[in-house]
């Protein structure tokens, strides 16, 4: 799987460059967005669109969404070359959400360097991020695989449905972050992840099913596979953050006790608040709410998570979700080789570094 990721990256980046070239000129603007009524300022658009977006893309990222898209296409027994242009859709959307979320979360770093809004300014990052929400829709209109009108409509409706729910997830997460009295349940946490992270996974899967003309049942099965796997992935992230802080995981590329410092409501936190003694629970909430904490306070919060068995609880939940994801994958009845590769990917996602 990891080899597949590395191998396919250049082809994916080429597909992205087809719709957002590294060098923007008037010919591209007129052809792609339609002729100007007056005159485009290509140089300005170079600086506010191509430069920030390609800087972020060139910093890395595994391009796993396009790769899973292509694996699904192959798993349906279809030709991946024919549908390659569509693989850019989820990656461009994902890049857009990173640009916007990093402003919303006041992130400092992204992929080991200052976040794009800290380099280009918040206004540029936000506008570029939002532009990346609509740019991929042009791929559907350009119709590189010659899909019929009904299929193109189904893709537009799917994208708009999933992007609507993405914003429900992000909005819910923001609210919990801002509300000192937020007290979400496990079910609400899983839904937040299913919307915020899962919907982009669902886009990958449903897009692969729609462009290749699969049945509604198969589309639903791969959508549930991708959604469930994405939630498992998110919980894996939450676990890694704490395990790293407990010195039990390798270098995770983030600061020590990052999630606690940010006051993030993770599955581990929800579990600990529900199961710890009133006193320990109150203390955990206090540290999470505080604007600033000493390293000792961060360690104390992590100790409360540890002693509550929250790491084990979260790992069990992630493993259950991963098993559920594999069940959905089985329902989709893909070709054996791709099923194996996707199952391997699911294991990798949940078990990486853990």
Residues that bind a second copy (CB under 8 A): 29, 33-34, 36-41, 44-45, 47-49, 100, 103-105, 121-124, 126-128, 130-131, 133-135, 137-138, 140-141, 149-150, 152-153, 156-157, 160-161, 163-165, 167-168, 170-172, 174-179, 182, 184-185, 187-188, 190-192, 194, 198, 227
CB 198 within 8 A of CB 287: no
Distance, CA of 4 to chain centre: 19
Q: How many residues does the chain have?
A: 354
Question: Toward a second copy, which CB reaches closer, 48 or 302?
Answer: 48
**Distance of alpha carbon 265 from alpha carbon 178, whole angstroms:** 11
Min. distance of Cβ 26 from a second copy in angstroms?
Answer: 11
DSSP state of 304: H
Least distance CB 106 / a second copy (angstroms): 8
Q: Which backbone phi and psi does 113 adopt, to 5 degrees?
A: -130, 170
> Closer to a second copy at the Cβ: 38 or 112?
38
Q: Nearest distance from residue 2's CB to a second copy, in Å?
A: 29
Give whichever of 183 and 295 is closer to a second copy, judged by the CB atom: 183
Closest separation in Å from C-beta 191 to a second copy:
4
CB of 74 or CB of 227, closer to a second copy: 227
Smallest distance, a second copy to C-beta of residue 212, A: 19
70 SS3 class: helix
Which uninterrupted H or E stretch holds 109? strand 109-110
The residue (of 48 and 87) whose beta carbon lies closer to a second copy is 48
Only one residue has tokens 């485009």, namely 40
Q: How far is the CB of 247 from a second copy (least distance, A)?
A: 32
Nearer to a second copy, 27 or 149 (CB): 149
Distance from C-alpha of 162 to C-alpha of 342, rounded to nearest angstrom: 22
Token duo for residue 205: 């899967």
Q: How many whole angstroms separate alpha carbon 72 and alpha carbon 83?
A: 11
Decide: helix, strand or coil at residue 319.
Answer: helix
């Amino acid at each position: 799987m990891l080899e597949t990721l590395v191998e396919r990256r250049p082809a994916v980046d080429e597909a992205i460059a087809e719709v957002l070239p590294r060098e923007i000129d008037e010919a591209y603007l007129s052809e792609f967005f339609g002729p100007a009524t007056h005159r485009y300022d290509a140089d300005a658009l170079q600086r506010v669109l191509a430069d920030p977006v390609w800087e972020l893309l060139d910093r890395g990222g595994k391009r796993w969404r396009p790769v899973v898209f292509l694996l699904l296409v192959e798993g349906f027994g279809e030709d991946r070359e024919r549908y390659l242009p569509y693989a850019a859709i989820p990656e461009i959307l994902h890049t857009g959400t990173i640009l916007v979320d990093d402003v919303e979360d006041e992130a400092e770093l992204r992929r080991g360097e200052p976040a794009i809004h800290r380099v280009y300014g918040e206004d540029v990052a936000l506008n570029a991020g939002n532009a990346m929400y609509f740019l991929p829709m042009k791929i559907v209109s350009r119709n590189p695989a010659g899909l019929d009108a009904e299929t193109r409509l189904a893709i537009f409706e799917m994208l708009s449905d999933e992007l609507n729910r993405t914003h429900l997830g992000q909005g819910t997460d923001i609210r919990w972050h801002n509300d000192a009295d937020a007290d979400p349940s496990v079910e609400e946490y899983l839904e937040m992840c299913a919307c915020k992270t899962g919907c982009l996974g669902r886009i990958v899967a449903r897009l692969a099913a729609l462009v290749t003309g699969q049945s509604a049942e198969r589309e639903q099965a791969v959508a549930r596979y991708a959604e469930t796997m994405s939630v498992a992935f998110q919980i894996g992230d939450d676990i890694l953050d704490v395990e790293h802080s407990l010195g039990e995981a390798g270098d995770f590329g983030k600061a020590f006790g990052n999630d606690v410092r940010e006051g993030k409501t993770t599955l581990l936190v929800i579990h600990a608040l529900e199961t710890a003694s009133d006193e320990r629970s109150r203390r955990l909430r206090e540290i999470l709410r505080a604007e600033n904490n000493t390293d000792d306070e961060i360690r104390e919060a992590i100790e409360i998570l540890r002693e509550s068995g929250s790491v084990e609880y979260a790992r069990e939940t992630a493993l259950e979700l991963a098993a559920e994801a594999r069940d959905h994958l089985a329902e989709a009845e893909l070709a054996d080789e791709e099923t194996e590769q996707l199952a391997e990917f699911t294991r990798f996602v949940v078990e990486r570094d853990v």
